[in-house]
Structure formats: C-alpha cells, structure tokens
Amino acid sequence: MPCPTRSDELVFFVNGRKVIEKNVDPEVTLLTFLRKNWILFLRLTGTKYACGRGGCGACTVMVSRHDPSSKKIRHFSVTACLVPICSLHGMAVTTVEGIGSINARIHPVQERIAKSHGTQCGFCTPGMVMSMYTLLRNHPEPSEEQLMDALGGNLCRCTGYRPILAGGRTFCVESRGCQQEGTGKCCLDEGEDESSQLGKKSEMCTGLFVKEEFQPLDPTQELIFPPELLRMSENPQKCTLTFHGERVTWISPATLKDLLEMKMKHPEAPLILGNTSLGPAMNSQGHFHPVLLSPVRISELSAVSRASDGLTIGAGCSLTQVKDILAEMVSSLPEEKTKTYQALLKHLKSLGGQQIRNMASLGGHIVSRHCYSDLNPILAVGRTTLNLISEEGARQIPLNEHFLAGLAGANLKPEEILESVHIPHSRKWEFVSAFRQADCRQNALADVNAGMRVLFEEGTDTISSFCLAYGGLGATTVSAPQTCQQLLGRRWNELMLDEACRLLLEEVSLPGSAPGGRVEFRRSLIVSFFFKFYLQVLQELKKLRKLVPVPDSCHYPEIADRFLSALEDFSITLPQGVQTYQSVASHQPLQDPVGRPVMHLSGLKHATGEAIFCDDIPEVDEELVMALVTSTRAHAKIISIDSSEALELPGVVDVITAEDIPGTNGSEDDRLLAVEKVLCVGQLICAVVAKTEVQVKRAVGKVKITYEDLEPVIFSIEDAIKHNSFLCPEKKLEQGNIEEAFEKVDQIVEGEVHVGGQEHFYMETQRVLVIPKTEDKELDIYVSTQDPAHVQKTVSSTLSIPINRITCHVKRVGGGFGGKVGRPAVFGAIAAVGAIKTGRPIRLVLDREDDMLITGGRHPLFGKYKVGFMNSGRIKALDIECYINGGCTLDDSELVTEFLILKMENAYKIRNLRFQGRACMTNLPSNTAFRGFGFPQGTLVTESCITAVAAKCGLPPEKIREKNMYKMVDKTIYKQAFNPETLIRCWNECLVKSSFHSRRLQVEEFNKKNYWKKKGIAIVPMKFSVGFAATSYHQAAALVHIYTDGSVLVTHGGNELGQGIHTKMLQVASRELKIPMSHMHICETSTATVPNTVATAASIGSDVNGKAVQNACQVLLKRLEPIMKNNPEGTWEDWIETAFEQRISLSATGYFRGYKAFMDWEKGEGDPFPYYVYGAACSEVEIDCLTGAHKKIRTDIVMDACCSLNPAIDIGQIEGAFIQGMGLYTTEELKYSAEGVLYSRGPDEYKIPTITDIPEEFNVSLLPSSQTPLTIYSSKGVGESGMFLGSSVFFAIADAVATAHRERGIAEDFTVKSPATPEWVRMACADRFTEMIPRDEPKTFKPWSIPIV
C-alpha cells in the first residue's frame, strides 16, 4: 500500500552516525555520497575512486544489516562505486575513517598493514583495510584461505601484495610456519650450502617488522550495530518507499505483494539488488531505466528450503550466501547427492571478488544471462528449475537452453519476477563437473567456462542422460543438445570421446569475428574441457566399481599415470617467503635510521584514509568540473565542432576549444587540443565545463563533431614499416665486425620477438585542480604528477604568462610508473585554460576508461634477431633490429629508442654486436615513459636469443647465459667501463639461494611423469643502468628550515609516488643533523619552494635529492658547530635557540649538481649512466597444457642495492616491480578494434596481477657487502630494475612449453610472443585437440581485434 510522504526519507548510518536523506537521487552511488557530501560528513575521502566498476576494490567499505529471520547481524564488504545510495535504507556503513584514526586510535588492521610495509602509494590501502576489517568482524581468527578470499577483489599496483598478506597473516589462526619444519633446519637459515657467501661477511636480517609490537585485536571494541536500525529491522515499515530523482524513480516495496503490484505497473522496470550488472551497464554503456524496483526488503526472496530431492534458494540471496549454503549442503549430505553443489562451489570461489559476491544476487546472475556467467552452465546441466511469480500466480520453468536463449515460451514475462531457484540433488551414477579458464585465477571473467553432467545406467558405463553447456562462446550460455542426444546409449570410452569432440565442434560453433577474439583458443577449450570431464568421470567410475558390484562385461578404459595430472586444478595458497637484507653496523647509533626498515612516513595515514590525494582536496568556492571530449576516429579531418546542444543543458558553463588557448597550443606535431585534424581515437578535441560531475558527463555526449576520414590509417608496426612511417631517425650501436663473425660461426639462428604494450594502471587516475587567484594572473595547481616543473612550464606557455605566477603543488601521487611524467602537463594546461576563461576553479578527474583511452602506455615492440654461435654455446655475433610502436606523436619515443639500444646487451659480452632501433608513427595514442623505459622490452629480445641458442645447442639456457656473461672488467657496447664482479655475485647467489640445479633435476623428473602438466624453471641475470643519459637531469635541490622549537621542515624536488622518497629524505636529514625523524616533517613538493626540478623518474630520485638534502643539512650543521662546541651538554633545542639569538640563519638550500652523463650517438660512445644495478631472478612455474593456465611455484630474487637506505622500502620496490613485470610478460594485454579503439579500458578487460597471482614462495635477498662511492651513503636506486626480472616467469613458462614441444615432436619455433597468456600457452602446446578445431582463412572474416605489434 502507498505510504505518506515521510516514508520517503532514506535512513541509514555511516560510522555510527545517523543519516536522514529527504531528497535522495537514485542515481547517486554510495561512493559519490561519501566523497562529495562534505557538508554532512566533512568529506569521507578515505574511500577512493579508481575504476567505477567494482573491479579494483579501492572503494571498499563494510555494510552491516540485521537479518530478521536469523536474528544475526551480517557484515559484508562492498564496492561503494556500485552501491546505489537508495539501497542502504536500514543499514549501517563503515568506512576506513570509522574504524580508527591517527588522532584517536588506530585499529589493529590499520596498524599492521602500515607497519608490515603493506602501503606504498597508499591509494589502494583503505580498500585493503576495509576488506580485511570486514573479514575480522566475521572471523576474528580467520584461516589463511579466508584471508586470500577476502583480498581477492582488491588490486594493488605498487607493493606486489606480499607485505599486505604479511600484515594480514598476523591475524590468522593457523600458518604453514617454517617451510622446513621437522628437518632440523629453518627456512630463515642463510645459505643452502657451504659455497654461499651470503651472510658470511656480515650479519643478515630477515625481519622487516616485529609482530610482537602490534596491538592485539579486541572484537569487543568495535562499533556496535545501531540499536535504532535493530528496532527498524524487527519492526519494519509495511509500506513502499519511493525516492524520486531528477531522472530516475526508485521504488522499494516492503512486501512481496507490493513488489508484484509494482512489477505489473512497471513491467519494463528491472529489479535491482547488488547492482553489479546494471551498475556498470548504466555507467559505461549508457543504459537508462526511469524506474528501478528494489526487492531488498522482501524476506521471501532470501528464503532457503531443503527437501529430500534438492535445495531451493531464494533469488535474492547473495552469491556469498549461496556459497555458504552450498558448503553446508556438501558437508552434511552424502557425496553422491552433492555433485552439482560441488561444481557450483568451485566456480563461486573464483567468480568476481569477495565484494562482488557479497553484492550480486543469485537471481540477478541468472536472469542477466551474461555470456561469461560461471553459474548458468552448471545450473543448466544440473536440471535447475526457476520458480516464477506474478500477480497472476506462480509457475515453473526449467533453466535450460531455451531459457538462456531468451525464447518467448521459456522466459520470464515482463510482469514476472524470479522468486527462487530449485537445484536438485545429484543422483547415484550421475557426475557433474565445472570448468573455467580466465587470464587470472580470481576476479577475472572467463574466456570459456562449462558445466557438464552425465548419468549412467546403474552399474554400467552406458550413458542414459547427458548435458553440456558452455559460457563465453556466444551471446549467452550455449548448450549442445544434439551432441548429447547422439551420445545416449554410448559407452564411456575413447571412441565416445573422439565422437563427442567431433560433434561438439560441429554444434558449438564460434565465428572467426566473435566478440572477445581468441577464437581458436576458445574453440580448443570446448574439447579440452570435455577431455578433462572424460578423465574425471573415468576416475569416478573406477571408484564406484570398488564400492558397487558391476557386470564383468563393463571394463573401464585405463588412464595412464602420466595423464592423471590433467584432473588436478591449481590450488590457491597464501604465499610464503623470506626477505633478507644486511643489518646496520653494530656501532651505528640507535637514533640513526639509515639502513633500517623504517615504515613509510604516510603508512598510517594511508591505512586510516587520512592521506590526502589530489581529488581529496575539499571543493573550492565556485568550483567547476571539467570533462574531456575525445576523438572517435583514428585519422580524420575535423569538419565542425557543434557544442550548442551541450551548452543548453542545465549547469553547463562553457566548452573549451583550441581557439580559447591564449598562448601556445602544444607543439606543431603534438597539440593540447586538436586543430583541423585528429591522429588517433582518444585524441583531445575540446573540454566541457559544468557545475557538477553528472552535468558535465551528460554534456560531453552532446558535443557533436563531424569528421572526414583521412588515409592512411596505420595501427601496427608492420603497417608503419610498409608506409615508412617513423617518428625519429634510426638509433644504432655497433661493435666488432659482425659480417665477418657470422661467416666463422658453427650455427646461425634467426627469430622474431613480439612484446605487447602495457597500461600503467596507476590506481589514482590523472587528476588536477586549478585555482585562479584574484590578482596578477596567479594560479595554484594541485596535480598528480611526477614532474610539477613540467606542468608549470606547460601551463605558462599555454596561458602566455610567466612561470613565476604559477605554483604547482604535489602532496602525494597514487602511483605513476612513468605515466605521470608528461601527461599531467596536458591536463593541467587545459584545466588552466578553463580556469582563466571562466574565472573559476576547475577540477578535472579522469575516469578509468578515459584515462586508459587517452594516455598511452608502454611501447609495444617488434624485434628481429640473427645470432651466430659456436656449438659450445659461445655467441660470436648478434644482430638485433627493433621497432617500437610510438603512437601518433613523438612524446618520449626517441628517448625510449635510445635507452632500448643502450641497455639491450644486458649482462652479456658479445664481441660483435649491432643494435638498431626505430620508433614507428601510428594512429594510436602516443606511448610514453613507463617503468624500465624500454629495458623490459628490449632485453626480452636479447634473452630470447639466449634461449634460441640453447635450444639449437641442446644445452640449458642457464649454461648459455653463464658462458656469455661479462667475466672481467670490460667496456660496454657504448664504450663505458664496467666491472661485472657484483653481477656475477648476484648470479651465483641466486643459483645457490634458489637451489637451482637440484630443482632443475626435480622439474625434469616431474615432466617425465606428467603429460598434461609441465613444469618450467628459468634464471635470468640483469645489468640495469640507472639514471638519465644527461648530466642536467641529475641535478637536484632542497630547502631545509629549522624552527625555533627545534622542529625541522624538509623540502626537496622529488615527488612522493609511493616509492618512499620522503621517508628516505628524512632518514638522510636525521643522520646528518643527528636528531630523530620525529623532529622532522615534509609538507609537499612545490615549485614555489624548490624551483626548476627534474622529473622524479629513472630510479634516481632518492639518489640526487638525498645528496641535496645532505648538502643543506651539512650547511646548517656547519653553522651550528661553534654553538654545539661551546655547549656540548646542551640539547638540540638549546642550540637552536642560541643560534637564533646569535642571528645565525636556520634555513639552507642544498644543491647537487648531478652525476656526469653523456652519449655521443654519432660516435656511438659515451658514459650515459652513473651506475648499474645488478640482479638475478629464478622462477619455477607449472602449466596446464590443456587450458594454458599456469601456477607460479617459486621465485627467488637477489638484488644489488648496495647499502640500502631503507631495506623495507627497497624490498617493496623490488617486489612491486617484479610483479608488475610479471604482469607485462604474462597477463596484461591491450586489445584494439580494427578502427583503433582500445577495448581494454578497465579492470574487467585488462588484467593486472591479483593477490592470487604472486608466487607461492617469494624470496628476496639484498646482496650484502656491496659498495659504491658515487651515491648517497653507498645506496642504489632500485625502483625500476625489478621490472625485467619478471621475465624469469615468462622464460619458465617458455621452458615448460619447450618441454611439451619436445615430447610431442613439435619443431622449435623461434617466434617469441609476450605476454605468455593462457591463449598463447594452450595453442603452443599443440595436441590432438588443437589439431581437430576448425581454422578460418584470414581473409574470410573481420577479426574482433587487431595486432599492433
């Protein structure tokens, strides 16, 4: 029945505080409400916006509600970006600010994630904290499995996850403990044999934090569920709540009767519970529904009933609740009845992240009928029945192929809703299995999934009922009824298997142009999954035969022992590992923090949500919001820009075009805003300015741009070479006589290497706030950048005002990785134009899709090599030609090409070398700086040459590496002197620490015994050159103030990106001034404080800024020396007070002129780099040849950081870079349409490593007793170097694939493709199943995506 107006009040609690909203807009999400409702909450900005799709977990909060039926409080984590504010009536929300703060009391979760060094940039940390906190509210002593599960929906781009798990593990009730328990040894013991030098010359440490210092978890101190909400739940309003927004009406009936009445009245209105399907569709695809029906208050939809024949689950139950219900059924029923439930449970463990499972409903999942649904294929084969209800009555329909296809007679009527789902028990002699393959093991949509069921005539292997269903092969789940019908009555044997595969491939077809691409891979999974099912059923039949008498005539085929591994899925376990570093000298004062694992300065603020990022700055008076209009064509002339319709919309203030720029519009070849023509999809054309975010986004779609397409349109490197389309001249280095050397070798191999691009995927997207001042054309710019001086200069030239009128502020950056060196200047300049034109502050925040579309990333690379070598494996000549895809403008492509060529030799001394590089101009967004700057791509080519030589010589790759490595003091290809002693130490230590040789034998033994699973192991060395190849880029400045109370303010030119530069700078200042870090503070990086700074990049930030801070502190200390000598017993405060009285300046600038570096490309020689970082990594993997999946078993890294300023930060940098590199080489794949549109524009389509992707054992050692006199306290910059070491995983996968090749008699292929995705691995491991799939002729279809390498 209808309710009075007052019932339209939305009531819920946030952090224990009551919220009453009388005019709530149904289109507002919880995330927007928390972050923007600053009048009520003073802005709860700890909850971060990062993707807007629920795929990254940065916006995780806890929602609590009372369940009237069970009388219990449910706590569950959700992604606030998907939660409609209207859905929260009667619930309590807890954000990261609500569980603890620095000024009051930090929560143990916050403390442990910070003190275990689980934060770097800190942008993902609040989400991690809230996922962990919610777990502890439900399970105060969780298992390690529960911890992994809880964090599976949270992404981190910085840390590599290991320290986050280390902090979380301290709450766990059980632990695997020492990996060598019972052997009389400990995994922390240094060295694995007497030959190890590690730990002999100096004491080594393995602890980065002290667990015993953590405060205990006390569940009694948590926020209670608000009593008012308890009363509301126990005495609910029996009336419909209606919330009217500007465009959408939200109706929340209180009873099932009211819901059915509303559904009859609004038959087109969707039901909305978790919003995990509707939300992304409305946000990204523009779907719109004027009426939304919310059944969240209707208890009947969450009812569960158990009967003798099966289980009925309410359609409103969340997937997490379904998982718990099924787990209970599996544990309480005989196994023969739970086969369907077990199959569903298997997929529920990997379906989305924990937050998505908490939000998504069973009914919504089924009715959405997504092609990638993990449950529908199992439910379809499991004889599931859907119980429908409407005002006209109830009816049942089967969840079968007709329902999934949406056929009229088998579908819901518009006025019907799904009330519940009945899943029958499985029967004796019935077998049900589930399969899925995705890029990642968790939180990733499946390429293909399947549900399979077979029922045999009792006591036989004769098929009496058969059902197969697949996801990922059509617009929805598809079945194979004809195949199943033809196989009835057949026996379960090899003949049936062959026939079934043939029939399946005929019936379940996938066109060559199918959305999602990977067509042949997906076809192969159809039969690979069925083969797995065939083996599983055979095993089960054999078990039954032992228990139940069967006729003598029934003989089941034997399964060879070598095939049994095909039955085993890769398990997910909490990673273990040891981090080893050199302890400080015994005589070092306790107060001196250098060399100690000091927590990140902002660690606790990250964990409490109190760390302020650019978009966390409160709204400024009269502030406007800006959004960008981008090109939809790859190469076209702009005929017209019509903004009239946009300007008529409410709240729209202006549209900024190139004509509004008072100064310089970028350069002739690289415009800020397009003029006359566009060169790529995603190029900036204009910008809309409006009063609110909602208004500006609507207006962007109303700007009409007319184009005229131009030719040619170039996307790939191959096309660029054909059209002679290059951005800059060729770069070349050569030594020796390469032609002569090729004539004298025993063998020559030629090959190709294709390395895909990579998206930065910094958690904080590009954002800027420009505030114009009232006089002198001054601007304050708050920007997320690695190079504020570049932003300052670009804004100056764009506005045609002096640089001294512009101040750029950088408090902290939520990840950069090179992507925030050049691009922020573009966004800052456009926002500044808007601010000057309107006279009002402008805030520009890119959403994830636009950020990925516009900004470019790592350069894809195509390399051709020719290598000449002796039969012993000694390489005599190497000729490499590389091309990178630079995109449509130059950007950093010339520098990347230079660095690529300079660094390509890696650790190898080859007397006759030729390296050539070109940057191709294509109609894609310009690629730019990225961690490693060409080294990860180029060195993969070199290492691929090594593996090719090994294959031809019949030797292990590590032998070829050792044979060709630098052995003595020598010169590089560019004639720079080089001593390889430390490189060789890293290599040898890694061999020992990883027990490489014994594990190589174990891998070989495993591979002999297993046909469908293969292990691979690889070890790679690294010589990484640090810094810029120009002296002027190595300069740095600092400013240190000492105040009269003795406190110290340090400022410098480096930017805090998460790499801990501010922490290290205070460690330097603490040592120099001989006072505790607690006396010191760093406020921000500002161009008004330290001018003319250089980008924080090239691993050199801490080095050069540390020198500048040291210089400033030494100047101050020299001034204070006479006072200290006169009063040696005085305190620091006494000395400062005296200095002030004596008129001694307590402020000093520090300056470092920089390391000398130069390169003469005409001569091909120089000293381009100040020093090298050395390292080695060994990784072991296991691959599934039938699906292409892989498991990372173990990684050992030895890195030369010399005397680390902060081992915790440096190890964190190494681990984070390694995992990011591992992503580059295994999962991160950019997909473009034939029109040049980037498909992979969010976490659903672009898979960075998740918490389940890190190696099961992950060990990192910093090489001890290493010195370099050049740097600050003999430390080294390690921010980038670990990136390439991720290739050890790639080469381990390649090693496993090579073993499969040899076993199958497949000729060695010297075409290397990165990333080593499941698609590449599966298709490389060719077998009878890949041979039987249909293949399309290339010219007969239009592919969904195109190669750009």
Residues with catalytic annotation? Answer: 1280
Q: Which residues neighbour 86 within 8 Å (Cβ) at sequence distance 6 or greater?
A: 10, 24, 26, 243, 250, 252, 294
**1158: alpha, beta or left, given left = phi > 0 and alpha = psi -120 to 50?**
beta
SS3 1029: coil
Burial 30-55 (b: 16+ CB within 10 A, else e): bbbbbbbbeeebebbbbbbbbbbbbb
Query: CA-based Rg of the chain, rounded to a whole angstrom?
Result: 32
Alpha-carbon dihedral 234, 237, 243, 249, rounded to 10 degrees: 100
Quickly list DSSP for 783-850: E--S-HHHHHHHHHHHHT--GGGEEEEES--S--TTTTSSHHHHHHHHHHHHHHHHSS-EEEE--HHH
The alpha carbon of 741 is separated from its chain's Cα centroid by a whole number of angstroms, namely 45
**In the structure encoding, which two tokens stand for residue 611, read together?**
């760390």
Confirm if 137 and 337 have CB atoms less than 8 A apart: no
For tokens 């406190």, name the residue.
1047
Phi, psi (rounded to 5 degrees) for 804: -70, -5
Confirm if 1068 and 1106 have CB atoms less than 8 A apart: yes
Distance of alpha carbon 900 from alpha carbon 893, whole angstroms: 10
The H-assigned helical ranges of 106-179 are 108-115, 125-138, 144-151, 162-169
Distance of alpha carbon 1277 from alpha carbon 1129, whole angstroms: 38
Q: List, edge to edge, every strand of the sheet that includes 704-709.
A: 677-678, 636-642, 704-709
Helix (H) or strand (E) holding 1038, with range, is strand 1036-1042
For the chain, how far is it from start to end, CA to CA, in angstroms?
63
Q: Which residues neighbour 989 within 8 Å (Cβ) at sequence distance 6 or greater?
A: 196, 197, 198, 1176, 1198, 1261, 1263
Distance of alpha carbon 565 from alpha carbon 1189, whole angstroms: 13
Distance of alpha carbon 1346 from alpha carbon 1349, whole angstroms: 9
Neighbours of 1187 (CB within 10 A): 27
Distance of alpha carbon 1223 from alpha carbon 1285, whole angstroms: 11
**Of 62, 64, 57, nearest to 98 (Cα)?**
62
**Is the four-CA dihedral 169, 174, 180, 184 of positive or negative sign?**
positive
Q: What angle do CA 872, 874, 875 make, to 5 degrees?
A: 135
Distance of alpha carbon 503 from alpha carbon 1313, whole angstroms: 32
> Per DSSP, what are the bridge partners of residue 387?
396, 420
**In the structure encoding, which two tokens stand for residue 134, read together?**
């919610």
Confirm if 164 and 120 have CB atoms less than 8 A apart: no
Phi, psi (rounded to 5 degrees) for 49: -95, 120
Confirm if 1011 and 535 have CB atoms less than 8 A apart: no
**In the structure encoding, which two tokens stand for residue 1083, read together?**
């406020």
For tokens 């190139």, name the residue.
658
Angle between helices 935-953 and 957-964 in degrees, nearest 10: 110
Name residue 1105's amino acid.
N
> Per DSSP, what are the bridge partners of residue 676?
none
